[in-house]
Amino acid sequence: MPGLITITQRNDGDNVTAAIYNADRQEIVNGMEPVTIDDGAATVSAFQQTIDPGEVGSENLPNSLLQWMQMVQFTLKEMKGTAQWYSSLATRTMNVPVVSQGTVNVVWTASGQTLWVYTWRVPDGWDATSSLTFNLFRRFSTASGTAKMYWFYSRVRDGQALSTTGNGVIDITHVDGLVHLTQLVMPTSVTLAAGDIVRLSVGRDGDDVGDTNTGSIVSDGHWLTYSGIASR
């Protein structure tokens, strides 16, 4: 639809006085106020239109104010994670861990097999082309020898069998008694979807002949990092 500016009609033969000339130009200036600029959204479809502005290094530059506004609408829609950029509400989720005195003090013992399992829901807004990384702080209670440790990821999905998606060895041999960071990356080849649960199992085989540490391995903290929508 056209802008809301009011144009004074002139007739053939009218004298163009200074007052008329200045008044006509003033009409144009007044028409540049936000209240009289064309909205560019005469239909619901036009109102919902968005344009991807690109990423740093691959910017998609707008050619008009309308395109710039549609890029802003794209960003709002992306940040909110809603069907339309103007939707007010969206369902959010968060992980709720089960905490007790026993689970707070996570340790892997020097004898027998100790297995701890961490679970979380696939985060809303996660970039499915990137990896999920579990960060774990570990340390020796007795700083000597080697502790034989391992990990494996599993995917839980409704209506399907539990699927093991990755595994590895994370023996710890530090003898300084300090806290050390271990990062366990879930392969990008794993197919995850909204509603999936990820299980990470971290174990120690204290009875393995190669496990020469006589103390416990202690967890001092853990967290998940991932690439996703900036607002989440």
Asked whether residue 157 falls in the same domain as residue 75, the answer is no
Q: Which H/E stretch holds residue 30?
A: helix 18-31
Is position 69 within any domain? yes
pLDDT of residue 1: 44
Q: Which pLDDT does position 41 carry in this prediction? A: 84
Look at residue 214 and tell me if it is in a domain.
Answer: yes
Structural domain total, the chain: 2
The reply to whether 136 falls in a domain is yes
Q: Which residues contact 57 (CB under 8 A, 6 or more apart)?
A: none
pLDDT tens digits along 124-177: 888 888 888 999 999 999 999 999 999 999 999 999 999 888 889 999 999 898
Residue 163 lies in a domain: yes
- 144 and 70: one domain? no
Domain that holds residue 184: 101-225
Task: Please check whether residue 135 lies inside any domain of the structure.
Answer: yes
Return the percentage of the chain with pLDDT > 90, whole number: 50
Q: Are residues 29 and 123 in the same domain?
A: no
What span, in angstroms and rounded, lies between the C-alpha atoms of 33 and 29?
A: 8
Look at residue 108 in the predicted model and tell me its pLDDT.
94
Among candidate residues 80, 110, 129, the one where a domain is terminated? 80
Tell whether 52 and 122 lie within a shared domain: no
Which residues of the chain, if any, have pLDDT below 70?
Answer: 1-5, 98-103, 230-232
**Edge-to-edge order in the sheet of strand 113-121:** 113-121, 197-205, 149-156, 163-169
Residue 110 included in any domain: yes
